[in-house]
Structure 1
Amino acid sequence: MIRFSLRIPADLHERVTAQASADRRSVNSEILHLLEVALSSRVVDAGSPGGDPTSPASLHGKPDSSPA
């Protein structure tokens, strides 16, 4: 297993921590679960009409990266 550091905003960490608690998982396990779900939905979306596998809604850039 690969180990790396990840920086996330405090509010996102709070949301992940709350979801992990609700799902009775560690924060690490919750992040792995969410990544697996997001990445597996890309495969499903690719086959649907209009599905764009290159831009899943939950994996866009930083929240503040939209043009002003």
Structure 2
Amino acid sequence: MELKKQYIVNEDNQKVAVQLDIATFEKIENVLENYALVQLMNEDKSEAMTVEDAKKYYASLDKA
């Protein structure tokens, strides 16, 4: 991914911030969110339901 960035500098011409276009920012944000979700899923030590158990549970829900 090409990062189109612009630097913001102070009066001493030192870089103090980076400005990204919104499309690039949204791509980075999406990657970070997906990474965090995968990390949470990998840390989850609870038991996974079988497909059959999930179907039984879904069938037992009140369908208002």
Normalised to the residue count of structure 1, the TM-score between the two structures is 0.36
Identify which of structures 1 and 2 has the higher relative contact order when contacts are C-alpha pairs closer than 8 Å and 6+ apart: 2
Normalised to the residue count of structure 2, the TM-score between the two structures is 0.39
Mark the structure with the bigger radius of gyration.
Answer: 2
